[in-house]
């Protein structure tokens, strides 16, 4: 069987980390899409068709990896006009029945198995993975009769939902489904409309999935995926070329890569992943689900908690909690990412001008690639900093900073201070 992997969208809600496709974001040294492809192999599939954008950034990244037993083919969606059009971009490569999954679906093998159990009995039906939700107005919701899908309603108004079963985002279609998809005009929800039409004319069923699933709409969704991957794949190991001071404390499930340097009095408390050529300075504390990709520098007297750093980041003394830093970010001494509100309420963030409930009680800053943040700067909970932004020293950042913006807080002269 084939799997069509969707990796062509612009991921605007993933800003400021969307300069490349979000499935290329790395956890434990590998892009998320690689975890998906390995999961497909474990589930018994032998071919994946990756639908990417015109930049072909996914294809370029995956040239660095090999896939024994899994054939990879590529299609290009020229414009990000929706999931339905993305599937049709792979039309000429689809041979028979096929899965459809988003490229960041690192837990895909657990989704595929309940669908395969049904497809062994049902040859020409569509099968959609479905799970319960308490917020049906945020999802595509299924109207069902037993296991049979009667209709699909996209984001119904509260109180108008036909059930509490959401579309999880893993699909299985017979090839003839493509003819139904072609009947629907290009639209962001053309896939949902085609599924509803197919369900009326043919047979479409659900495969129930009551375990936790992971969406990757917003950048803070990376934390759930990191936790899943750490809990499943992280294994304690210290590579032989690592240089660790005798009085450094290493405790818990921790991977330490090649040529890592950990200096005197540093404390590392797992689970943590520390990639090749990283440095953790004197008297620093790195704790609880920290992911450091290669060539990250954590300077002396810093505390890093539950944060994700991509390649080449550098921080000095300060506090970095529940935060995400894209490639090559630089932070001066004394930078602090506040990660909780005084009132202990859920942290909200602003995406595309809309204030979003993150569902998190602790969320620091999310910083785009190549950003530079000056000494003694304070970042309030949930702020987003665009790529190539420059934040001047002693600044207080309360709101999002756009890409390529220079921002600083103007100093105020104090008169008659006591």
Residue 66 has pLDDT above 90, yes or no: no
The pLDDT tens digits for 285-322 are: 999 999 999 999 999 999 999 999 999 999 999 999 99
The pLDDT of residue 60: 94
In the chain, the domains with their CATH numbers are 2-217 (3.90.550.10), 222-407 (2.160.10.10)
Q: In the predicted model, what is the mean pLDDT of residues 348-371?
A: 95
The pLDDT tens digits for 201-235 are: 998 998 888 787 788 999 999 999 999 999 999 99
The pLDDT of residue 387: 97
Q: In the predicted model, what is the mean pLDDT of residues 364-390?
A: 97
Cβ-based neighbours of 52, under 8 Å, separated by 6 or more: 7, 8, 21, 58, 59, 74, 75, 76, 77
State in Å, rounded, how far the first CA of the chain is from the last one.
Answer: 76
Beta sheet of 254-256, edge-to-edge order: 237-238, 254-256, 272-274, 290-292, 308-309, 324-325, 366-367, 384-385
**Of 136 and 99, more confident:** 99
Query: Look-up: residue for tokens 């810093």?
Result: 302
Q: What is the C-alpha separation between 163 and 148, in angstroms, rounded?
A: 13
Q: Strand, helix or coil at 200?
A: helix
**Percentage of the chain exceeding pLDDT 90:** 70
Q: Identify the DSSP state of 401.
A: B
Note whether 53 and 77 are within 8 A (CB): yes
Residue 14 has pLDDT above 90, yes or no: yes
The pLDDT tens digits for 255-288 are: 999 999 999 999 999 999 999 999 999 999 999 9
The upper half-sphere exposure of residue 20, i.e. CA atoms within 13 Å in the direction of its Cβ, equals 18
Residue 417 has pLDDT above 50, yes or no: no
What would you measure as the largest C-alpha separation in the chain, in angstroms? 83
Distances 136 to 106, 167, 168, 364 between C-alpha atoms, Å: 23, 10, 12, 28
Residue 49 has pLDDT above 70, yes or no: yes
The pLDDT tens digits for 196-209 are: 999 989 989 988 88
How sure is the predictor about 186, in pLDDT bands with cuts at 50, 70 and 90?
A: confident
Q: Which pair of tokens denotes residue 129?
A: 């993975």
**How confident is the prediction for the chain on average, in pLDDT?**
92
How sure is the predictor about 418, in pLDDT bands with cuts at 50, 70 and 90?
A: very low
**Segment holding 36, helix H or strand E:** helix 32-43
Residue 188 has pLDDT above 90, yes or no: no
The pLDDT of residue 118: 73
How sure is the predictor about 13, in pLDDT bands with cuts at 50, 70 and 90?
A: very high
Q: Which pair of tokens denotes residue 356?
A: 């979003």
Q: Which pair of tokens denotes residue 328?
A: 């090559």
Q: In the predicted model, what is the mean pLDDT of residues 356-384?
A: 96
**Of 164 and 303, more confident:** 303
Q: What is the C-alpha separation between 132 and 325, in angstroms, rounded?
A: 33
The pLDDT of residue 268: 98
The pLDDT tens digits for 113-143 are: 888 877 665 567 899 898 888 888 888 889 8
Residue 411 has pLDDT above 80, yes or no: no
Q: In the predicted model, what is the mean pLDDT of residues 331-353?
A: 94
pTM of the full predicted structure? 0.92
């Amino acid at each position: 069987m084939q799997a069509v992997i969707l990796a062509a969208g612009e991921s605007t809600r993933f800003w400021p980390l969307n300069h490349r496709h979000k499935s290329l974001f790395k956890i434990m040294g590998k892009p998320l899409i690689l975890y998906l492809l390995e999961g497909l192999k474990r589930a018994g599939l032998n071919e994946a068709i990756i639908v990417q954008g015109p930049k072909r950034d996914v294809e370029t990244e995956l040239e660095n990896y090999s896939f024994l037993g899994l054939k990879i083919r590529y299609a290009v969606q020229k414009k990000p006009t929706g999931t339905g059009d993305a599937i049709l971009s792979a039309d000429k490569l689809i041979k028979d029945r096929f899965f459809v999954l988003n490229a960041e679906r690192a837990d895909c093998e657990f989704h595929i198995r309940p669908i395969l159990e049904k497809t062994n009995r049902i040859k020409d039906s569509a099968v959609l993975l479905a799970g319960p939700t308490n917020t049906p107005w945020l999802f595509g919701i299924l109207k069902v009769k037993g296991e049979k899908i009667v209709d699909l309603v996209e984001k119904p108004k509260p109180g108008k939902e036909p059930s509490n079963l959401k579309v999880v985002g893993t699909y299985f279609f017979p090839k003839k489904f493509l003819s139904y998809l072609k009947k629907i005009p290009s639209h962001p929800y053309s896939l949902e409309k085609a599924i509803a039409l197919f369900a009326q004319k043919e047979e479409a069923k659900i495969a129930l999935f009551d375990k936790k699933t992971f969406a990757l709409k917003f950048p803070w969704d990376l934390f759930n995926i990191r936790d899943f991957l750490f809990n499943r794949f992280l294994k304690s190991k210290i590579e032989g070329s690592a240089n660790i001071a005798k009085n450094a404390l290493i405790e818990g499930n921790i991977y330490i890569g090649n040529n890592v340097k950990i200096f005197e009095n540093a404390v590392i408390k797992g689970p943590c992943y520390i990639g090749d050529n990283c440095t953790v300075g004197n008297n620093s504390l790195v704790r609880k689900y920290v992911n450091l990709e290669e060539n990250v520098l954590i300077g002396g007297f810093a505390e890093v908690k539950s944060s994700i750093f991509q390649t080449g980041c550098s921080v000095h003394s300060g506090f970095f909690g529940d935060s995400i830093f894209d490639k090559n970010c630089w932070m001066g001494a004394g930078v602090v990412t506040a990660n909780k509100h005084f009132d202990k309420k859920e942290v909200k963030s602003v995406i595309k001008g809309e204030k979003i409930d993150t569902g998190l009680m602790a969320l620091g800053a999310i910083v785009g690639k190549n950003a530079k943040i000056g000494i003694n700067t304070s970042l309030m909970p949930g702020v987003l900093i665009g790529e190539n932004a420059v934040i001047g020293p002693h600044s207080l950042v309360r709101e999002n900073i756009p890409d390529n913006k220079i921002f600083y807080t103007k100093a105020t002269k104090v008169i008659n201070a006591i």
